[in-house]
Chain A
Amino acid sequence: MLMALVRRLTLSFLILFMVAVFVFVATEVLPGDAIDVYLSADDLAVMSDADIEEMRQRFGLDRPAWVRFWEWFSGAIFGDLGKTLIDGNDIVDLIWHPLLNSVILGAIITAFTLPTAFIIGSITGYKRGSRTDGAVSTLTLVGYSIPDFVIGNVLIILFAVWLAFFPAVILVFSNASTSELLAVSLLPALTVIIGHVAHQSRLLRAGFIETMNSEFVERARLSGLPEKWVVFRHALPASIIPMLNSLALYISGLLAGLVVVERVFGYPGLGRELIEAVARREVNVVQGITFWSASFIIFMNLLADFAIIALDPRVRSAKSA
């Protein structure tokens, strides 16, 4: 049992390291570096190759990739993401507020998505083949099939252009107050929620149907137990466990969704910050954001694993047996 946890943790750190390497390599192979982007065409016209080279040396970009990587990584594991290349700003300061904003948005989405999906999924799964199921399943299929950026733009047209309830483009600073953020986050949140509720409820429906057809549910029914007991005591707990398993996919899907909607709505979150950093070739910022996102996903996965260990007696005793 303890061994399994230690192994999981070690593996998590290994994955984290590989993610860091991968992100570094990925930004490294992009053509051009921060200097090329920072310097305008005019700058380039007046500067000689030697000047540019000297500037590169000043920012430390001439050193071999692995040295720069190590310098960055050794700080990152202790929470120091370094400074931006050009302006020398502290990266943690730079992304702290966008991070909080994204967490707020993600929390709103999750707090709505998971319970709703759970209810929709179990009801449609239980009433499989009924008219309710048919209608809801068609809706979820549609919701699941439309990409986030399409939903986002449709919502903008609907609620911002035609009905004018919300602003079409969000104009708040990244360090805006929570109440201000809540007001502007509704539309982006709704965009992600539609797709995710659809997806998660379909997953849960499928899992629930499988559980309802299982032999242990049949046995419970054949023992003449009330339907409520069969569903709530036997079937539902058995379908939560597969849902936890898919949590990893949900979290990474959520982060991807956030990047898209923050871009579409201009919401001052981590996703928007990431896209801007890529455009500026601010390798350290890109790495910082991806590193933190990856850590978050890995951490949530660990949590899900622990939850499964707590809930599923078969996994719990697998090691001790």
Chain B
Amino acid sequence: MPILEVKDLKVGYVDVQRQTNLAVDGVGFTLEKGETLGIVGESGCGKSTIARALMGYLRPGGEVLGGSIELAGKFVFDLSPSALQKLRGEIVAIVPQNPLSSLTYHLTVGAHLREILQFHRGLSAAHAKTETLSLFEETGLPEPETIYKRYPHQISGGQRQRVVIAAALACQPAVMILDEPTTALDTTTEMQVLKLVKDLRKKIDTAIVYITHDLTLTNYMCDRVLVMHDGKTIEQGYADKIFEQPKEKYTRQLVAAIPRVDEPPQREKIAEEQLGFKLLEVKDLSFAYKPQWSIRQMFRKIAPKIVVKNVSFNIRKSETLGLVGESGSGKSTVANIISGLQSPISGEIYFTNDLLHPKGENRPPEVLRRIQLIFQDPLSSLNPRHRVGTILTGAIMGFFGVSRREATDRAVVLLEDLELPIDFLKRYPRQLSGGQQQRVAIARAFAANPDLIICDEITSALDVSVQAQVLDLLMAMQRKNQTACLFISHDLGVIREVSHRTAVMRQGLILETGETEALFEYTKNNYTKQLLTAAQRRDYIIEHHELILKTGSNSPRKMPFQS
């Protein structure tokens, strides 16, 4: 008998107009003891709603419209509040997506686990503490005694994720729900956490519902996979089958949209012979943060923190240069320096052979127009109080001094180029989806008719299928306007798709620069090789990351599980 059985579940949310929108529409699945089921889908497909419904919890405005959930022989929706309280934590536990905002900031990390143990297992305060410490050890937290007294913001992201996993394990639940547990973590930490979950699963007999947007991970983490779209089940089956031979069109598209590092790009780049003269040249750029003013600094010299060291590269007209590296490698700082937002401590930038002033505000308006920057988060870079039309026409009128009518005509062309409907002119940014917002941000950049655009992780926050579309449109815009591009990303697959040449950055240094295809196929640089292996064989890396990437002090320790 399965531990969890979901039948024809329907959940809706009531919106402002008092209309009910189905978020989950007739989803059903079963979960056997000790089994791992992956629920995969893009943002807004209803997977997080299912995660919470399994615990008998709906976010405000939510309503169960049909179906049933049977968990360990109990129908979740029929339980009394006190029975539900016992169910949560004791039979089913959740690991939330964002551990920082999910931990109460004014309570110590230890207090979070202690109260769960005190309430659900009836332990005394002292006993609960020893139990908490051993849970911390099981989840590979270094120095449990110290962590116990820390507040959530004082420990690292990976450690926080381990804390919420430990909290979920506190009562050894029969079912554990992991809701995008690694989305907020960087790649290295993500690997460690996934390895931990996998190891724990071998030791304890917990069934897992693993919710993610990342199809490649499910293959490694799950026995079976359920693919969701728009609240409906697209298909379900064994993990390896779904990934290798998807039956449904939607799943095939999803798999195809994932940019691959190990295959030549699917997109056609602007031909090599059409690339023009040297548009931008960066020579020996260095950047350091000045130490904060303090009394101490007056007595003792504090070394400035160097973020970018002697970076040099160039970009030709119409060319795309990919800049790849892990978070904190200094990529974004390079983008900010070129666009004049930050001033380097040394080095020069030449744009069409003219030396640029380090400070953006001292550059001539014409130069400012010709270099445009697109950020990762479009919502915070577009003025929330301006309609899309105002954003675009304002920029066009400001740069070219044309009439409002002329500017509106050009804005319409831009929207058409980016395949956005014309009535978007009247919309506010927050009324658009993430992908649409990013397309508006691209339109805003191209409104200046620039010669160079700098794209700083512009697709990192987007779902894969939306990312594919944004990349297509960006490349089409570049082709149409003969625009050069500095494309910054941590995703090697994306870099391979769009860039002619690639520069690899680590700890402020450019380790190597080369033709993209040559670099991806024959690199000699060890770090680049590591990055490529990590991206290609994530499953392999997760198993062996300790051998491949030196992870420092917060790497998980192997601890036998004590129960």
A312–B104 Cα distance when bound, in Å, is: 11
Asked if A127 CB lies within 8 Å of chain B CBs, one says no
A226 near B85 (CB under 8 angstroms)?
A: yes
Name the distance in Å between A265's Cβ and chain B's nearest Cβ. Answer: 42
Given contacts A222-B52, A224-B86, contact A314 B116 (CB under 8 A): no
B107 contacts A224, CB within 8 Å? no
Task: Determine the chain A residues whose CB is within 8 A of the CB of B365 once the complex forms.
Answer: none
Q: A226-B119, A229-B115 are in contact. Are A215 and B102 (CB under 8 A)?
A: yes
Of all chain A residues, the one with the shortest Cβ separation from B88 is A224
Report the bound CA distance from A233 to B112 in whole Å: 10
The CA of A218 and the CA of B58, in the complex, are separated in Å by 10
Please tell me if the beta carbons of A311 and B106 are within 8 angstroms of each other in the complex: yes
B316 CB, nearest partner CB in chain A, Å:
44
Chain B residues within 8 Å of A219, by CB = 94, 96, 102-103, 164
A residues within 8 A CB of B387?
A: none
**Is B57 an interface residue, CB under 8 A from the partner?**
yes
Chain B positions within 8 Å of A313 at CB level: 105-106, 151, 153-154
Instruction: Determine which of A218, A237, A321 lies in contact with B106 in the assembled complex, contact meaning CB atoms within 8 Å.
Output: A237
B93 contacts A312, CB within 8 Å? no
Q: A222-B55, A222-B94, A229-B115 are in contact. Are A213 and B60 (CB under 8 A)?
A: yes
Q: Which residue of B lies closest to A314 (CB)?
A: B153
Q: Given A222-B55, A222-B88, do A216 and B153 touch, yes or no (CB 8 Å)? A: no
CA distance A238 to B104 in the complex (A): 8
Q: What CA separation (Å) do A218 and B52 show in the bound complex? A: 10
Query: Of the candidates A214, A222, A229, which one forms a contact with B101 in the assembled complex, judged by CB atoms under 8 Å apart?
Result: A214
**What residues of chain B lie closer than 8 Å to A225, measured between beta carbons?**
85, 89, 115-116, 119
Give 1 or 0 for each of B21-47: 1 = CB within 8 Å of chain A CB: 000000000000000000000000000
Tell me the count of chain A residues lying within 8 A, CB to CB, of chain B: 27
Q: Indicate which residue in A220, A241, A311 contacts B104 across the interface (CB closer than 8 Å).
A: A220
Q: Is the CB of A224 within 8 A of B102?
A: no
Which A residues touch B151, using CB under 8 A? 313-314, 317
Count the A-B residue pairs with Cβ separation under 8 angstroms: how many?
A: 83
In the complex, what residue of chain B is closest to A240 when comparing beta carbons? B106
Given A215-B102, A229-B119, A238-B105, A321 contacting B88 (CB threshold 8 A): no
Nearest CB of B to A236, in Å: 10
Cβ of A66 to closest chain B Cβ, rounded Å: 32
Q: Give Cα A221 to B119, complex, Å.
A: 13
The distance from the CB of B125 to the nearest CB of chain A, in whole angstroms, is: 14
Distance from A45 Cβ to chain B, minimum over Cβ atoms (Å): 61
Q: Does B20 contact A (CB under 8 A)?
A: no
A233 touches B107 (CB 8 A): yes
Q: Which residues of A contact B98 (CB under 8 A)?
A: 215
Closest A residue to B55 by CB, please name it. A222
Judge whether A233 and B105 touch: CB under 8 Å: no
Interface membership of B295, Cβ < 8 A: yes
**Given known A-B contacts A221-B57, A223-B167, A225-B119, A312 and B87 have beta carbons under 8 A apart:** no
B101 in contact with A216 (CB, 8 Å): yes
A89 CB, min distance to chain B CBs, angstroms: 45
- A158 CB, nearest partner CB in chain B, Å: 41
A3 within 8 A of B: yes
In the complex, what residues of B have CB within 8 A of residue A321's CB? Answer: 154
Interface range on chain B: under 10, 10 to 19, 20 to 34, or 35 or more?
Answer: 20 to 34
Residues of A with C-beta under 8 A to B138: none
Residues 222-276 (chain A) with a chain B CB within 8 angstroms = 222-226, 229, 233-234, 237-238, 241
Q: Min CB distance, B297 to chain A, in Å?
A: 11
Min CB–CB distance B292 → chain A (angstroms): 10
Most buried by B among A221, A223, A237, A317: A223
Can you name the residue of chain A whose Cβ is closest to the Cβ of B170?
Answer: A223
- Give Cα A229–Cα B93 distance, bound, in whole angstroms: 18
A227 CB to nearest B CB, Å: 8
- The residue that B88 contacts in the complex, of A223, A233, A317, with Cβ under 8 A, is A223
**CA–CA, A220 and B144, complex, Å:** 22
Choose among A3, A222, A312 the residue that contacts B105 (Cβ–Cβ < 8 A). A312
- Counting chain A CB atoms within 10 Å of each CB, which of B102, B103, B106 scores highest? B106
**Cβ of B116 and Cβ of A223 under 8 Å apart?**
yes
Closest residue on chain B to residue A216 by CB atoms: B104
* Neighbouring B residues of A224 by C-beta, 8 Å: 84-90, 116, 119-120
Chain B residues whose C-beta falls within 8 Å of the C-beta of A3 in the assembled complex: 294-295
Cα–Cα, bound, A217→B57 (Å): 13
**B interface footprint on A88-105 (CB within 8 Å = 1, 0 otherwise):** 000000000000000000
Which residues 146-174 of A have a CB within 8 angstroms of B?
none
Interchain CB contact under 8 A, B154 and A317: yes
Write out the residue numbers on chain B whose beta carbons fall within 8 Å of the beta carbon of A222: 52, 55, 57, 88-89, 93-94, 96
Chain B residues within an 8 Å CB radius of A238: 104-106
Contact A314 B86 (CB under 8 A): no
Chain B contacts of A223 at CB under 8 A? 88-89, 93, 116, 167
Contacting residues, chain A, for B120 (C-beta < 8 A): 224
Which residues of chain A have C-beta atoms less than 8 A from B84's C-beta?
Answer: 224
A177 to chain B, nearest CB (A): 44
Using Cβ atoms and an 8 Å threshold, which residues of chain A touch B107? 233-234
Which of A214, A226, A311, A313 is packed against the most chain B CB atoms within 10 Å?
A313
In the assembled complex, the CB of A128 is this many whole angstroms from the nearest CB of chain B, namely 9
A234 in contact with B86 given A213-B60, A222-B52, A314-B153 (CB within 8 Å): no
CA distance A213 to B151 in the complex (A): 21
| Contacting residues, chain B, for A217 (C-beta < 8 A) | 104
Q: How far, in angstroms, from A226 to B85 measured CA to CA in the complex? A: 7
Inter-chain CA distance A216–B99, complex, in Å, is 9
Cα-based distance from A215 to B102 in the complex (angstroms): 5
Question: Which residues of chain A have C-beta atoms less than 8 A from B101's C-beta?
Answer: 214-216
B71-90 vs A: 1/0 string, CB under 8 Å?
00000000000001111111
Max chain B C-beta neighbours (<10 A), residue from A219, A229, A233: A219
User: Which residues of chain A from 268 to 319 have any CB-CB distance to chain B below 8 Å in the complex?
Assistant: 311-314, 317
CB-nearest residue of chain B to A219: B102
Neighbouring B residues of A221 by C-beta, 8 Å: 57, 88
Measured between beta carbons, the chain B residues less than 8 angstroms from A317 are 151, 153-154
Looking at B86, B87, B105, the one whose CB has the most chain A CB atoms below 10 A away is: B105
Chain B residues within 8 Å of A218, by CB: 57, 59, 96, 102
0/1 interface trace, chain B 161-172, chain A, CB 8 Å (1 if under): 000100100000
Residues of B within 8 A of A226 (CB): 85, 119
0/1 per residue, B456-491, Cβ < 8 Å to A?
Answer: 000000000000000000000000000000000000
Residues on the B chain within 8 Å of A237, using CB = 106
Q: List 29 A-B contacts (CB under 8 A).
A: A213-B60, A215-B98, A215-B101, A216-B102, A216-B103, A218-B102, A219-B94, A219-B164, A220-B104, A222-B57, A222-B93, A222-B96, A223-B88, A223-B89, A224-B85, A224-B88, A224-B89, A224-B116, A224-B119, A225-B89, A229-B119, A234-B104, A238-B105, A241-B106, A313-B106, A314-B105, A314-B153, A317-B151, A317-B153
A215-B102, A222-B93 known; 12 new pairs, CB 8 Å cut-off, are: A3-B294, A213-B60, A216-B104, A218-B96, A233-B104, A233-B115, A237-B106, A238-B105, A311-B106, A313-B105, A313-B154, A317-B151
User: Which 5 pairs from chain A and chain B are nearest by CB?
Assistant: A224-B88, A224-B89, A313-B151, A219-B102, A215-B101
